[in-house]
Structure 1
Amino acid sequence: MSATDVARADAEAAPDGDAPQAPGAGRRWTRRRVLRLIAPAMIFLGIREVGLLVLGWMAARNDMSPTDALRSWDGQWFLAIAGNGYAGVPDGLVDAFGKRGAETPLAFFPGYPTVVGWLSDLGFRLVPSALAITIAFGVVCAYGLTRLGELVRGGSRRAGLVLVALFAASPMAIVLSMAYSESMFCAFAVWALVFVLERNWVAAGLCCAAAGLVRPTAAALILAVGLAAVIAVLHRRDGWRPWVGGVLAPVGLLGYLAWVATRTGEWDGWFALQRRGWDSEFDGGAATVKFSLDVLGNARSVLEVATVGLIIVALVLLAIGIRRRLEWPLLVYAAGVLAMDLGSNGLMNSKVRLMVPAVTLLVPIAIALAKRRTATMVLTLSAFAIVGSWFGAYSITSWGYAI
């Protein structure tokens, strides 16, 4: 089924008021409604399948297994934690300096491996369980993005579906098919933002709290949800609900950081693990600027040059969002994600992957593409998907360093 069919069905999904229907019209409307219901999942899964096909081709050319590629790097840590708990991670897994302490695995947040472990405990194999959880949360995120596209100023359901396609096809969207936690985090983050725009404060707080158990990037989400809740309280809107949502939002992140502090005996235990194991800490962007200038000066590799280009694109998209007056919680969230990513040193090759959760940067593009002719929209998204699929496959098959 083509994207054109999906778009046509979406446009025709609603019945024409009380006009008389021809025999069989109800059945046709039901089929269209089913198509409308599954469209976000179809678009997300279809584009990710293109990414996996490109990955299979790239893996074959590099004499490696696609499954091994999908569980590489951080995936090995998540799988080990899911299967054996923090205390049972094999000694062979080490930090960026080749070292390993008893607390090193605590650098990885528990949300994703815990859910993977639950599914594995039901009798399923560990790697398929991890990949299934990743895909399932990607689909959940797709429905959230569709709703987000309807809620934003100038948006529509069509814009929401385009947003799903852009997300699934973005550079480094390969992690949305890997044993990585980005898919789960994005699902919680997008729905938290949807609930903020709908002023469903308790649900927003719960999603934000869950995101805090998945990735440290939840700090950006807590900022957006917390500020929105504070403003609602100051304007005396929605009674007690923004109070509860604001209180719930940081519970997951603060709870895990506090637990790591007690395990390590250091008040900043998680941050200390990042500094010692991955040389990662906030430096205001100095390392990112130095990396960018060095790469542009000698063009060491395709991936590094593309990384610098995508950093610039992300900053331009943030400026466009501000100029187009995108809803401020979405801007605060995206700016927070970029600040945490670009403002830290550590592994420069992970910069593009760490920008994947900043999906709200793509909203203005989605709105603009949704207003184009269907053929133009489909061709643009197809080209984007092919380029993004190659970039992601290259990063985990041909590129020899961690992402």
Structure 2
Amino acid sequence: MTETIERPEAGSRWQRVAASEWTRTFAMVAAFHFVLTVVAVLFQRSYPTEIGYPKDIIGPDPTWLSHTFRWDSAHYYGILEGSYENPEEPAFYPLFPVVVWLVRTLSFNSLPLITAGFLVNVVASWFAATALLKIARTFLSSTWGPWLAVTAFLTAPTAYFLHGFYSESLFCALGFWAYLFALRRQWHLMGACLIPLTAIRITSVLFVGLCLLEFFRAQDWQWRKLLSWNILWFPAAFIGLEAYALYLKLKHGDALAMFHAYDLHQSWPYHVFNLDFPGTIWHAVTAAVEAVFATKPPDNWTLVSTIIPVLALVVLALAAGYVLRVYRGAGIPLAVFGFVSIVMFTLNSNVVSVHRYVLPCLVVYIAMARLAQGGIRLSGKPAVYGLILSHTVLMAFLYSLFIAGKWSG
């Protein structure tokens, strides 16, 4: 497993900048956000809006960026305006609204909150794509394979959440860079990414575990070698979560309000902690199969909240298994990350929004690029390109629902 180091090419300074990985990933990410913006601006007026479109916040008439503000965006906005005044808002972790507030403050409050959020997401998705490219270079020998991994990321079915007023971009950026620094054995920089990561969402524990396994691999899987000062970065990673819990204790008198909020909001009655995740998965799979073969087409809720999430879990499981088979010991951290993600995503008695939770699971993009580069026996390019095309079509469908204010994950 080697990383290809990009060497400066002859030419002017501007030519070298234009040819750099950072510039090229920015071009890809900028094109991604530009296309989504153009599509929304062209079609959002013709879409009937439903409950996911908070007109009382962004106004009745669409604007250039109003399409980015749907569903849970209102909770992040409420946090920015009221600092967790509503009892259900602790379910949404604070780092994304804090960064949006900081950007707006640095603009001397000249930027609307939605615009500030859009700028945060553009920069964060750029950093995420660049980190993924460098991670892929560690696992792939071809020059084009890492770029295919980035393409797979930006065409994932729920990649449009990187564009919306959500925390996905920031989460991916910090998570991907934390793992990249772990691969480079730069443990202090890894820790600097993990600490704020745990203040974005609870699934940050998956990246903490991924980096911990990579740390264990760096010690040749020997327990005695774990006893070093660098191991302290992993308990320190939860400082972000602990700081949030302390704030909630002072604000609401409940340090675990981020979990208890689900019991207070009428929209989340299906979230019930249940260790029987195999039963949850089996129930979802059987429900999806029955819906597919039913005489009537499935309704929007069944399609978006059962069928598509089940397909996402299948892709994630196949990717984790493939990475383990191809890379063996070097692939153990990513493979375990994939399999444990499946468990964590289904511990709440349902698979609703799982296809969105899978977006940061970079094992999928590494596996797709590796398969296209050359599978165990045959080239997997047709399968990978077909999957990317299918994902793009599915993203177009889900994004159209998102723009219309309909449930999409």
Provide TM-score, normalisation by structure 1.
Answer: 0.79
The answer to whether residue 113 in structure 2 is matched with residue 109 in structure 1 is: no
Distance 2:98 2:189 in 1: 22
Distance 2:189 2:281 in 1: 36
| Percent identity for Structure 1 against Structure 2 | 19
Match of 2:239 in 1: 251
Amino acid at match of 1:295: A
**Cα 1:146–1:237 shift into 2, 3 Å:** farther
Amino acid at match of 1:145: L
RMSD between aligned alpha carbons? 3.4
Unaligned runs of 5+ in 1: 1-9, 16-24, 88-101
Match of 2:286 in 1: 293
The secondary structure found in structure 1 opposite 2:144 is helix
Distance 1:40 1:370 in 2: 20
Match of 2:44 in 1: 59
Distance 2:102 2:19 in 1: 32
**Cα 1:145–1:290 shift into 2, 3 Å:** same
**Cα 1:175–1:398 shift into 2, 3 Å:** same
Distance 2:404 2:263 in 1: 28
Provide TM-score, normalisation by structure 2.
Answer: 0.78
The answer to whether residue 384 in structure 2 is matched with residue 391 in structure 1 is: no
**Cα 1:118–1:31 shift into 2, 3 Å:** same
Match of 1:81 in 2: 79
Match of 1:99 in 2: none
Match of 2:368 in 1: 365
Q: What is the aligned length?
A: 367
Q: Deviations over 1:19-62 (max 9, x none)?
A: xxxxxx634x9625522331112122223433444444553441
Match of 1:323 in 2: 325
CA contact (8 A) 1:54 1:393 kept: no
Equivalent position to 2:344, from 331, 340, 346: 340
Q: Deviations over 1:300-358 (max 9, x none)?
A: 23434333322322222222222223532223333333322133235x44121111111
Equivalent position to 1:135, from 122, 137, 145: 122
Task: Please give the residue correspondences for 1:7-46 in structure 2 after superposition, counting only pairs within 5 Å.
Answer: 15=9, 26-27=11-12, 31=15, 34-37=18-21, 38-46=23-31
- Bigger shift: residues 326-335 or 35-44: 326-335
Shift of 1:298: 2.9
Shift of 1:109: 0.2
**Cα 1:330–1:11 shift into 2, 3 Å:** closer
Distance 1:58 1:350 in 2: 25
Unaligned runs of 5+ in 2: 50-61, 293-297
Q: Deviations over 1:96-150 (max 9, x none)?
A: xxxxxx4321111000000101112232111100111111100011110111011
Match of 1:162 in 2: 148
Amino acid at match of 1:255: A
- Bigger shift: residues 355-364 or 296-305: 296-305
**Cα 1:287–1:263 shift into 2, 3 Å:** farther
CA contact (8 A) 2:345 2:357 kept: yes
Amino acid at match of 1:120: R
Amino acid at match of 1:333: F
The secondary structure found in structure 1 opposite 2:115 is helix
